Structure 1
Amino acid sequence: MSDVEFQFNGLDELMEEIKEAERKVPDISEKVLKKGMNKVRKLSKEKHINGKKGKKHINSSYKILPVEYESGGLNVKMTNTCPHFHLVERGHRLVTKSGKEIGFVQGKHMVERSMEEMGEEFPKMLEKEIKKILK
């Protein structure tokens, strides 16, 4: 029987590139998460129409919190500091001064719709960033 040997030229260089990409991945994941949340904030602002002048605007109250490292991966949260945001987002009852309920105002679901849109775009953003690393 004869022994068969395979020799690959440049394998060591490729392994070094892969290790380098692994070191950069946490930074890239964080970068892509921040970009994604900024896009969600932008889409949410576009979906909301401001009301009366002199009132605290929902659009200026979106805040993106710092990226958190958890056992399952990275996590980033977006909040809105406007006190009536939840009423506009999810809807609310219409009640008279006497307490009689006269209807319901449907929510605008700005953030929910924006998150659904980003659910389709986010994998593409991540793939694009990974391709940049592996160049």
Structure 2
Amino acid sequence: MSDIEFKFNGLDEIMEEFKEAERKVPDVSEKVLKKGMNKARKLSKEKHNGKTGRKHINSSYKILPIEFESDGMNIKMTNTRPNFHLVERGHRLVTKNGKEIGFVQGKHMVERSMEEMEEEFPKMLKKEIKKILK
């Protein structure tokens, strides 16, 4: 399994409002986290433009259960395909004799979708907070 972990920075100003909303509705943090990860999974599937193996890689994205820690919550997305890391990061092309004949560039589907989510997640968070604090 290939795990890629990202952390979002710049959410400090939103956290006070979020804590207020969480006091009113305790499940809001889990809901927003799951919604954000589902969006990231959807974006990762859209970013894979390969001709072969697309169906298998796209159907193998799994979102693991939320882990509660002392400083907050964690949620992880993984892909169960054994060749996922090769498609994501790229790989060497090697002949039967072991001679390297080239390199296949990675698609970086998850990396690009997480970069996109860095901009979109704070917006999703603000939207949920506004719904609750009304």
Q: TM-score range by the shorter chain?
A: 0.7 to 0.9
Cα distance in 2 for residues equivalent to 1:47 and 1:20: 36
Give the secondary-structure state (helix, strand or coil) at the position aligned to 1:108. Answer: coil
Q: Is 1:86 equivalent to 2:98 in the alignment?
A: no
Q: For structure 2, which runs of at least 5 residues remain unmatched after alignment?
A: 1-18
Query: Do the aligned partners of residues 83 and 69 (structure 1) sit closer, same or farther apart at CA in structure 2, a change above 3 Å counting?
Result: same
Q: Deviations over 1:10-50 (max 9, x none)?
A: xxxxxxxxx98443454111111101110010011011135
- Rg comparison, structure with higher value: 1
| Matching of residues 17-28 of structure 1 within 5 Å | 21-24=21-24, 26-28=26-28
What is the root-mean-square deviation of aligned Cα atoms in Å? Answer: 2.1
Q: Deviations over 1:58-109 (max 9, x none)?
A: 0000000111111121100000001110000000001000001111111000
Q: Is the 8 A contact 1:50 1:57 kept in 2?
A: no
TM-score scaled to structure 2, two decimals?
A: 0.79
Higher relative contact order (CA 8 A, sep 6+): 2
Partner residue in 1 for 2:70: 71
Percent identity over paired residues: 84
Partner residue in 1 for 2:116: 117
Q: Is the 8 A contact 2:21 2:28 kept in 1?
A: no
Partner residue in 2 for 1:8: none
Partner residue in 2 for 1:132: 131
Q: For structure 1, which runs of at least 5 residues remain unmatched after alignment?
A: 1-18
TM-score scaled to structure 1, two decimals?
A: 0.78
Aligned length: 116
1:115 to partner: Cα distance: 0.2
